């Protein structure tokens, strides 16, 4: 039996977690006194949300089959178990998990070797049995843990000094540049026009809203072009809808740019011996260029609310 603060607890042994957690309800139930810690943790849940469990319960009483094995717990409000014992706790007591035998074996120096075999849990574990039988959507939340020792982004002086470099929304058309986005058609290509796709009422309402926003910012303008591509919506992870123009037929009659792609094995050779890696994700990269004036009529798309042409790539293209 596993007990925390003298009470039987529903515990998960997780070698995939670098730290241990205790649920917020357990903290309230036993009147535990967590303290704030300086080392911040950033947790990403399966739903893509971020949480910051920066409260710590030190030396919390944990007992397994009569053996006292205290743990340092981070407090996590939505933990599906009473507690999660991670690698920090398992390593401190020289424990390893035998997945086949479903046991945890403890080889603490100076103590007899002993093992723990969990009993079938009750109460909340009913959720687990329902999940394995396909009657529930999820069993537990999944976390990816990353330690953050530095200041937050909004605390960095240079970021605060240039807020216009990272706008919350695209401000409008990019300035005229030396290079425009050019669309070169296969010779003798005739205009292609496809009727609009059907949409649900929710999609039509969202379409009206996004067309209005794009028009106000100058990304699109009304058109009478003989070209016309349909539009559709792509659902993002947060359930919002992103407008996408279906240019598949246009792509078939477009002269493709040919340039050599790097070989994957050459890239790995170049990275050999490297210790630090960085990545730059350019937000709305295609928005940086305007479409050449002579080619804008080709970008026309049809909707229930009108016919438009594109001035800059501010919407998704397929």
* Whether residue 298 sits in one domain with residue 192: yes
| Contact (Cβ atoms closer than 8 angstroms) between residue 10 and residue 80 | no
Which has more pLDDT, 278 or 299? 299
* Whether residue 120 sits in one domain with residue 240: no
Q: What is the CATH number of the domain that holds 73?
A: 2.40.70.10
Burial class, 283, CB count within 10 angstroms (exposed 0-12 / middle 13-18 / buried 19+) = exposed
Q: How many domains does the chain have?
A: 2
Determine what percent of the chain is predicted with pLDDT higher than 70.
79
Residue with structure tokens 């050779």?
Answer: 269
233 in a structural domain: yes
* Whether residue 291 sits in one domain with residue 179: yes
Label residue 123 by pLDDT band (50, 70, 90): very low
DSSP 47-65: TS-EE---EEEEEE-EEET
* Whether residue 237 sits in one domain with residue 133: no
Which has more pLDDT, 59 or 122? 59
> pLDDT value at position 134?
43
272 in a structural domain: no
Comparing 45-59, 91-105, 196-210, 287-301, the range with the smallest average pLDDT is 45-59
> pLDDT value at position 254?
94
| pLDDT digit string, tens, across residues 232-255 | 998 888 888 889 999 999 999 999
* Whether residue 224 sits in one domain with residue 109: no
Q: What is the mean predicted confidence (pLDDT) over 207-226?
A: 92
Give kind and range of the element (H or E) at residue 23. strand 20-23
> pLDDT value at position 242?
87
Q: What is the mean predicted confidence (pLDDT) over 4-24?
A: 87
* Whether residue 253 sits in one domain with residue 293: yes
Label residue 208 by pLDDT band (50, 70, 90): very high
Comparing 3-7, 30-34, 158-162, the range with the smallest average pLDDT is 158-162
Q: What is the mean predicted confidence (pLDDT) over 267-271?
A: 84
- Return d(Cα 35, Cα 149) in angstroms, integer: 18
Q: What is the mean predicted confidence (pLDDT) over 268-283?
A: 77
Comparing 15-24, 149-158, 263-272, the range with the smallest average pLDDT is 149-158
Looking at 117, 148, 179, which one is the last position of a domain?
A: 148
Neighbours of 310 (CB within 10 A): 25
Domain that includes residue 254, residue range? 167-258+282-318
Q: What is the CATH number of the domain that holds 301?
A: 3.10.10.10
- Mean pLDDT, the chain, rounded, equals 81
Residue 230, pLDDT above cutoff 80: yes
pTM for this predicted structure: 0.47
Which residue blocks in 93-245 are alpha helix, DSSP H?
125-132, 157-161, 201-216
Residue 94, pLDDT above cutoff 80: yes
> pLDDT value at position 314?
57
């Amino acid at each position: 039996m596993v007990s925390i603060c003298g009470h039987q607890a529903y515990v998960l042994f997780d070698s995939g977690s670098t730290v241990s957690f205790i649920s917020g309800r357990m903290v309230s139930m036993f009147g535990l006194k967590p303290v704030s810690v300086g080392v911040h943790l950033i947790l990403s849940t399966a739903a893509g949300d971020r949480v910051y469990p920066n409260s710590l319960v030190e030396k919390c009483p944990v007992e397994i089959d009569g053996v006292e094995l205290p743990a340092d717990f981070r407090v996590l409000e939505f933990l599906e178990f009473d507690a999660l014992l991670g690698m920090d706790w398992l390593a401190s007591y020289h424990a390893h998990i035998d997945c086949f035998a479903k046991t945890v074996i403890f080889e603490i120096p100076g103590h007899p070797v002993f093992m723990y075999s969990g009993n079938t849990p009750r109460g909340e574990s009913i959720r687990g049995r329902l999940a394995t039988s396909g009657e529930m959507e999820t069993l537990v939340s999944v976390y990816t843990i990353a330690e953050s020792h530095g200041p937050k982004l909004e605390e960095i002086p240079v970021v605060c000094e240039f807020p216009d470099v990272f706008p919350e929304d695209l401000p409008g058309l990019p300035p005229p540049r030396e290079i425009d986005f050019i669309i070169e058609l296969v010779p003798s290509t005739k205009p292609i026009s496809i009727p609009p796709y059907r949409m649900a009422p929710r999609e039509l309402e969202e379409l009206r809203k996004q067309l209005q926003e794009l028009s106000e910012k100058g990304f699109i303008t009304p058109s009478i072009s003989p070209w016309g591509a349909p539009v559709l919506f792509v659902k993002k992870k947060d359930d919002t809808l992103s407008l996408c123009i279906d240019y598949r037929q246009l792509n078939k009659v477009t002269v493709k740019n040919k340039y050599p792609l790097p070989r994957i094995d050459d890239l790995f050779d170049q990275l050999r011996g490297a210790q630090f890696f960085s990545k730059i994700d350019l937000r709305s990269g295609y928005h940086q260029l305007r479409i050449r004036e002579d080619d804008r009529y080709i970008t026309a798309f049809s909707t229930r609310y009108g016919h438009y042409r594109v001035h800059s790539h501010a919407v998704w293209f397929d």
